[in-house]
Structure 1
Amino acid sequence: MKVTWDDVTPNRRRGGDVRVLLSPRTVDAASGFGGALTLEPGEYICEHYHPYSEEFIHVVRGSLVMRVDGAPERLGPGDALMVPIGVRHRMENDGGEQAYVIFHLSPLAPRPELGHVDLETLPGAQDQPHLPVGAPGEGRANGGR
C-alpha cells in the first residue's frame, strides 16, 4: 500500500516534523516502521531511546548532529547511522538549511506505548497530540481499508 507525506499527520511532540509513513497502523507492517522527518535550522528531536528497536537514520538533505550516548556524530547528505537498541540519542539541526531524514525502526516493541522512552521533553509538548504507531488495522492511510 502506498503512503505519501501528505497522507500522514505530522507529529511535532518530540520536535521537528516527524511522519511515520509505513507502520502497523498505516499498512499493517509486522516487523518495523519507518518514515521521514524534517528539522528546520535550530530544531531538534528530544533525547530518547528505544528499548526494543534499532533505529536506522539516513540524511537525504541538509546536515545535523546526532548525539548517541552524548557523543556527537555529524551527518550530511548521503550519511547513514544505526542507533542500537536501548541507546539514548538526540538529533539536532545546527546548520543553516532544513534537514530531510529517512528513518526506520525494527523490530517492533510488544506494544506501541513501550517502543519509545523520552529522556527530555520539548517545551509545549503537552499541547501536541500523541500520535502512536498503533496496532495493525487502526486508522490506515488512504481510506482505512
Structure 2
Amino acid sequence: MTDTHLTKIAAGDVTPNHRRGGDIRVLLSPKTVGSTSGFMGVAYLKPGEHFVEHYHPYSEEFMYMVRGTVTARIDGAQEIVLTPGEGMMIPKNVRHRVDNHGDEEACMVFHASPLAPRPELGHVDTEHHDTAHDTAAGTPR
C-alpha cells in the first residue's frame, strides 16, 4: 500500500470569485488538490443575484441544491426550478444561467467533468456580468 496524502479544503478558506455573479468557490481542482478528471465547488446566490449565462465546451456540469431555490434557464428558453435536495446535469455546450428569485440565499454544490485542455477554455460566457449593478444585501461589490 502506498502513502497517500489527502487534502481537505473548507469553503470558508477559498477566496470568493464574483466575476460571473454571486459567490463561487472552487474547492477541489487540479490547482488545489491535483485532480485530473474534474473540479468541484460551492456557489452562493443572494436574493436577486444570478450567474451569467455560459456554457462548457468540454464538460458536463452537475448541480445540487443545498439551500434556497434557483431557476436555471436552459438555452435561453426552458426554465427549471431547483429546490433543496434536487440536482441536475447540464450537458456540454448547453447555455445556462442561474437566477435566485427567492427571498433567501441559495447554496449549491457544483461539479464539472471532464476537464478542458486548459482552464481558460472550460467556460464560455454568453452574457456580460456588470459588477457595478450587482447589489448583494444592498451594497455594491
TM-score by length of 2: 0.87
Larger relative contact order, structure 1 or 2 (CA cutoff 8 Å, min sep 6): 1
Whether 1:66 and 2:50 are equivalent positions in the alignment is no
SS in 2 for 1:25: helix
Gaps spanning 5+ residues in structure 2: where? Answer: 1-6, 133-141
Structure 2 distance, partners of 1:68, 1:53, is 16
Cα drift, residue 121 of structure 1: 1.0
Cα drift, residue 45 of structure 1: 0.1
Q: Percent identity?
A: 58
Give 1:1-145 correspondences, 5 Å limit: 1-70=7-76, 71-124=78-131
Aligned letter for 1:117?
A: V
Structure 1 distance, partners of 2:131, 2:12, is 24
Structure 1 distance, partners of 2:106, 2:123, is 22
Structure 1 distance, partners of 2:131, 2:80, is 27
Displacement over 4 Å in runs of 4+? none
TM-score by length of 1: 0.84
Structure 1 distance, partners of 2:41, 2:131, is 23
Q: How many residues align?
A: 125
> What RMSD over aligned residues (CA atoms) do the two structures have, in Å?
0.9
SS in 2 for 1:26: helix
Gaps spanning 5+ residues in structure 1: where? Answer: 126-145
If you compute each CA radius of gyration, which structure gives the higher value, 1 or 2?
2
State the Cα deviation string for residues 26-66 of structure 1 (Å, max 9, x = none): 00010000100110000000000000000000001000100
